[in-house]
Structure 1
Amino acid sequence: MTDRKKVAIWLLTGVFLVIAMVVIGGITRLTHSGLSMVNWKPISGTIPPLNEAEWMAEFENYKTSPEYKIKNYHFTVEEFKSIFWWEYIHRLLGRVIGFVFLIPFLYFLFTKKLKDKRLLKNLVVIFFLGGLQGFIGWFMVKSGLVNDPNVSHFRLAIHFITALFLCCYILWIALKLLYPEKGFIGEKLKSFKTWTNIAIIITVIQIIYGAFVAGLKAGLIYGTFPKMGGDWIASEIPKRLDQIGILTFIEDSASVQFIHRWIAVVVVFAIVVLIWKAKKVSLKGIQFKLVTWLGIIVVFQFVLGVMTLLMKVPVTLGVLHQLGAVVLLITLVITRYFFRGKNKPFTV
């Protein structure tokens, strides 16, 4: 096995762990566990409470939070334990990811397997983004520990989108190691790069609005589709426009849900255009397979989103819907990678 392949496998392991982190983060949010740990202890926080005295001390810390005072004032220590563990696992996995990146990085560095200076710079960027993501996570949690026992939906969106950016950045570097050649040929395929870029941009906007929906708990209202109740546009949206103006599109629950619904349709349309173009030019190989998979994933994700809304966001569907967004974005990024050049066709 070549050194390039070893480094790529290491990076792909990191991609898988970041995705797992996103999934557990979704479970943590949907089980209302995210504010159970009111302190950020990067080192000492690795070890959970081990006896009843330590559990009571942790519980007393939780009692100082607005979530306990306003929502969970009736909780016993046993009920506290039920929400503690998901947040603990979420933070613990973050530490594991740090070690998974650090230890192999030092090994590759000292065994001189990282001779490419550009690759070395990219790895330094990954470490920076990973540390930044940890800080943003605490910055998000802190917003729910002041007065309102709900995290800021803006900070939630930043936390989610930076995690996905980190995931896609690592993936791109791994792909460059595994498939360094560039690959589309002919003028007729240039539009694939453009349409993939458009689809990525729209999907990112959709993901941001998905985080807004989650943070504002907007998925729990207007549980009908395609109409919002009996209207195509919820009646309260014009009223909110009069009250707060353009801010309604990022702060009002009904407006955010409305936008999230219809951007989903735009994402589906963009992928349909890619599939239509692929058939028109008789696209082949890995490029055709990826475009086909995009079609399957986007339909599955759209249906899953509708089901999640109709069923009032059960934990399982909510997590699967979040994971579907991650898979769709990653597949788009991989597709974009295989349309990045113009020297020769890929033979994968």
Structure 2
Amino acid sequence: MNKDNNKVIYWLLTGCVLIFIMVVVGGITRLTHSGLSMSNYKLISGTIPPMNETEWNEAFELYKQYPEYQKINYNFTLEDFKDIYFWEWLHRVIGRFIGVVFIIPFLYFLIRKQLTRPTIKKSLILMFLGGFQGFLGWFMVKSGLVDRPDVSHYRLAMHLTAAFITFAYTLWVALDLIYPNKKEVDLKFRNLIRLGLALLLLQIIYGAFVAGLDAGLLHNHWPLMNDGALIHESVYIEQSPIIKNFIEGKSGVQFVHRYLAYIVVGIIIFIWFRSKKIKKNKTQTNLINALLATVCIQFLLGVFTLLYRVPITLGILHQVVAFFLLGTMTFSLHRFSK
């Protein structure tokens, strides 16, 4: 029996696509403020939405017991509730579906002995990452069901970053099977891409901070934060000590996200220039060019998303291109690794 065959590769790539879809739906859920509409967690029965008017009223009455309804959406009708319920329900169903799509084929390949020992180990890591991601999702939602009608931006960042990392690792495992033979590479250049990947992950974390704090709804100017101001004065006066302004203050978090974007663009431009001095094959060349093009598109989307105060379409596009940027960076690192 051929191990690590094309079926295994398609299985892993299908997982990548599903994680991508889940992140997109998660972004819509966040931007439509739908994440707290399902205030209870039912792993199996929660897969089926309310099927009649009685069940819808029961779900709505449960929603009314929590801060989001009591402090913000107290004027919601049942129809309004159904709109926000849909996106959170869909987000959770996709998460469960990903679990099924991963576990059942994994057991099949395992029983049929179509996985090598290294791939089995990597698959078990993926299983852990998927389960942990599910836990973080509920851990995040739970933070918005106590006193404040919004989730913790720290927990949102953990949930989103875990999804990105799970995607990147799934892609990496698939690439290991697609490209089983690796050649000698320029270690300095590989480390440069590693640095770019680390900075990109930090930027993704700060993007989640911006989303969690709704920090994109202020300082809607560019290139300066306010007319004539490089950095808004509130960065220094929101909280003490000053460092808290850059992880909990809206102005400070937006400031870091803005100027970290310049650093990410700069490091990728440097990677592109540096690549001109090393020997590359066609795939590597295309990846580096795609990396440069994607980061430029992402930067422009970030600017327009800010200028237009985070409309849903631009907000989702900004997150989608961030996903493609991470995928391209991961692919590039893989092709320049030993």
TM range (shorter): over 0.9
1:235 to 218, 233, 256: 233
1:323, 1:157 → 2: CA distance?
Answer: 16
Deviation at 1:194, TM superposition (A): 1.3
Cα distance in 2 for partners of 1:76, 1:163 equals 33
Cα deviations by residue, 1:224-251 (Å, 9 ceiling, x for unpaired) = 011011200101112236x333111100
Tell me how far 1:279 sits from its aligned partner: 2.1
1:258 alignment counterpart:
255
Amino acid at match of 1:26: G
Distance in 2 (CA, whole Å) between partners of 1:281 and 1:126 is 34
1:138-185 residue CA offsets vs partner (Å, 9 max, x unmatched): 000000010100100000000011111111111111111110111244
CA distance in 1, matches of 2:221, 2:2: 54
CA distance in 2, matches of 1:32, 1:16: 24
Alignment of 1:118-157 (within 5 A): 118-157=118-157
Structure 2 Cα separation of the partners of residues 194 and 281 of structure 1: 14
Shift of 1:109: 1.3
Q: CA deviation at 1:83?
A: 0.6
Equivalent AA in structure 2 for residue 173 of structure 1? V
CA distance in 1, matches of 2:107, 2:198: 35
Instruction: Give secondary structure in 2 for the equivalent of 1:280.
Output: coil
User: Normalised by the size of structure 2, how large is the TM-score?
Assistant: 0.97
Aligned to 1:57: 58
Compute the displacement of 1:287 (Å): 0.9
Q: Deviations over 1:244-303 (max 9, x none)?
A: 331111000000000100000000111111111122336331111100000000000000
Any unmatched runs of 5+ in structure 1? 342-348
1:35 maps to amino acid = L
Aligned position for 1:40: 41
CA RMSD across the alignment:
1.3
Matches within 5 A, 1:183-262: 183-185=183-185, 189-230=186-227, 231-240=229-238, 243-262=240-259
- SS of equivalent residue, structure 1 residue 50: coil
Quick one: structure 1 residues 78 and 158, their matched pair in 2 at CA, closer, same or farther if it must change by over 3 Å? same
Deviations 1:56-78 (A, max 9, x none): 00001100110000001111111
Could you say what secondary structure the match of 1:251 adopts?
Answer: coil
Amino acid at match of 1:112: K
For residue 168 of structure 1, what is the amino acid of its counterpart?
A
Verify the 8 A CA contact 2:236 2:245 in the aligned structure 1: no
Q: Please give the alpha-carbon distance, in whole angstroms, between the structure 2 residues aligned to 1:237 and 1:78.
A: 40
> 1:322 corresponds to which residue?
319
Q: For the Cα contact (< 8 Å) 1:19–1:326, is it kept in 2?
A: yes
Q: Tell me if structure 1 keeps the 8 A contact 2:24–2:316.
A: yes
Q: How does 1:67-216 map to 2 (within 5 A)?
A: 67-114=68-115, 116-185=116-185, 189-216=186-213
Specify which of 288, 292, 295 is matched with residue 292 of structure 2.
295
- Written as runs of structure 1 = structure 2, the 5 A alignment for 1:7-18 is 7-18=8-19
Taking the aligned partners of 2:335 and 2:238, their CA distance within structure 1 comes to: 44
Deviates more, 1:164-173 or 1:23-32: 164-173
Give the whole-Å Cα distance in 2 for the aligned partners of 1:12 and 1:94: 16
User: Using the alignment, how far apart are the partners of 1:275 and 1:62 within structure 2?
Assistant: 51
Residues 184 and 338 of structure 1 are in contact (CA less than 8 Å); yes or no, is this contact kept in structure 2?
Answer: no
Unaligned runs of 5+ in 2: none
